Amino acid sequence: MTVQRFSPESDLSLDDAMEDLVSAEDFLEFFDVPFDQTVVHINRLHIMQRYHDYLSQAPDLEELADEPRAAVYRQLLVRAYSDFVNSDAQTEKVLKVFKRNDPQSTFVPLDQLLG
């Protein structure tokens, strides 16, 4: 599927145009964000979760018209992607598995394993 970049001249609303976006690459192409495929391949879930987090922190986006809202969406996507260009998932701690303070300190005695 070829993703069309967002254009204010389009007949579709921003929400309608975004409906078919399913991958990190789709979002990056739609908002015309240059990206390194290797960075996206390794960090796609983390980038999209960080993007979601940034969107949820942005106030009153629904009240904006399509063009200014698309500009904010693009800016937040660039920020989310950039977080992983010079960092990694473990450092950024976006997903719950990386947010644990106590790294797997569960002890199971040998006799319980052999049982």
| pLDDT tens-place string over residues 47-59 | 999 999 999 999 8
Residue among 54, 1, 60, 61 nearest 30 (CA)? 1
Task: Give the domain extent around 41.
Answer: 14-95
**Does residue 1 form part of some domain?**
no
State the burial class of residue 54 (Cβ atoms within 10 Å of its Cβ: 0-12, 13-18, 19+): middle
**Does residue 102 form part of some domain?**
no
Average pLDDT, consecutive stretches of 10 residues, N- to C-terminus, the chain (115 residues): 76 91 95 96 92 92 92 96 86 64 63 71
**Does residue 104 form part of some domain?**
no
**Does residue 6 form part of some domain?**
no
**Does residue 90 form part of some domain?**
yes
**Does residue 72 form part of some domain?**
yes
Look over the chain and give the mean of its residue pLDDT values, rounded to a whole number. 85
How many residues can be counted in the chain?
A: 115
Total domains, the chain: 1
DSSP letter at 91 equals H
**Does residue 109 form part of some domain?**
no
- What's the confidence (pLDDT) of residue 5? 80
**Does residue 66 form part of some domain?**
yes
